[in-house]
Amino acid sequence: MINETPLWEVFIRQRNGLSHRHVGSLHAADEALALSAARDVYTRRGEGGSIWVVPSSAITASDPDHTDEFFDPAEDKIYRHPTFYDIPDDVGHM
């Protein structure tokens, strides 16, 4: 064997109007086989409408060690949420 068959991440959109969601992974030598395999592995019960396959190696992920600096700063910006603002009930729904 020259090396291991690459890993792919599979995203499926069940029907138009939804977004593609990560459903799992599989191994395939190239993108066409990956797409076929995704169809056979992840849409056996009519789950499929559209499939994306992405080489796992192409994904850049945020580092869990940097979770604090990445995500905590957003937590106290409460003025980004509608409930931060007082509007009298008389104004009606806004």
Query: In this complex, which beta carbon is closest to other proteins, that of residue 50 or of residue 87?
Result: 50
Q: How far is the CB of 12 from other proteins (least distance, A)?
A: 12
Query: In this complex, which beta carbon is closest to other proteins, that of residue 59 or of residue 78?
Result: 59
Looking at residue 21, what DSSP letter applies? E
d(CA 3, CA 29): 10
Query: In this complex, which beta carbon is closest to other proteins, that of residue 63 or of residue 86?
Result: 63
- 21: Cβ contacts below 8 Å, ≥ 6 apart: 11, 12, 13
Q: How far is the CB of 25 from other proteins (least distance, A)?
A: 4
Task: Tell the burial category of 65 from Cβ atoms under 10 Å away from its Cβ (0-12, 13-18, 19+).
Answer: exposed
Could you list the residues that contact other proteins (CB under 8 A)? 1-5, 7, 23-30, 32-33, 36-37, 39-41, 44-45, 61, 63-65
